[in-house]
Structure 1
Amino acid sequence: MAFVITEPCQTEKAGECTTVCPVDCIVEGPDQFYIEPDICIDCGACKAVCPVDAIEEEYDLTPDQEVFLEKAEAFFAEES
């Protein structure tokens, strides 16, 4: 998974990221948006437009943000 949507999305949930994603890999969940890792092409367009800086590269996550990677994995496991 290249990008992970983190905590600021939970309070904002603006959605600009969905409009710029060239492969439509960003899905709205009940509490925030999630990036589908199997579809994402790692272009970074979503990160550039996020108004609340909620999108981070997986390898740049802080220990406190790791929970959002786990949430995304669980979200897409449930959808399968």
Structure 2
Amino acid sequence: MAVVVTDNCRDCRFTECVTVCPVSCFHFDDVMVYVDPELCIDCRACMTACPVMAIYDVDDLPESKHEWISINAERSKTLPPILTKHDPLPSAEGRKLAMGF
């Protein structure tokens, strides 16, 4: 199994997850990061690194977020990999506060 990046990442795009990933399975666009489920080895290091709790083990994914399994699989195939930490989006801190983190 793999981990899944969910909508908590949207408009934040914190990239602490990228720095702890041993297999470089993250990809990104203008609003968030996605994980390639075929490359992910399910080490779960990224889950605790994420400051907005956007990453779930697929087995623990809430029913309301199941759509993110296919979104990650599809988007990771078409987007460039992200291999190093990037600055979060300008909206990140405000979104993080709004989510209660």
Name the residue aligned to 2:89: none
How much has 1:43 moved relative to structure 2?
Answer: 0.8
* Counterpart-to-counterpart distance in 2, 1:56 and 1:15: 15
Show CA shifts across 1:18-65 (max 9, x none).
111111111113331111111111111100100000000111111210
Name the residue aligned to 2:26: 26
Name the stretch that deviates more: 49-58 or 60-69.
60-69
* Counterpart-to-counterpart distance in 2, 1:76 and 1:27: 5
Give the secondary-structure state (helix, strand or coil) at the position aligned to 1:11: coil
TM-score by length of 1: 0.86
User: Structure 2 matches for 1:68-79, cutoff 5 A?
Assistant: 68-78=68-78
Give the secondary-structure state (helix, strand or coil) at the position aligned to 1:17: helix
Name the stretch that deviates more: 67-76 or 4-13.
67-76
Contact 2:4 2:35 in 1 (8 A): yes
For this pair of structures, how many residues does the alignment match? 79
* Counterpart-to-counterpart distance in 2, 1:72 and 1:46: 15
Structure 2: tracts of 5 or more residues without a match? 80-101
Name the residue aligned to 1:51: 51
TM-score by length of 2: 0.70
* Counterpart-to-counterpart distance in 2, 1:76 and 1:16: 18
Report the structure, 1 or 2, having the larger helix content: 1
Name the residue aligned to 1:63: 63
Query: Which has more radius of gyration?
Result: 2
* Counterpart-to-counterpart distance in 2, 1:47 and 1:11: 18
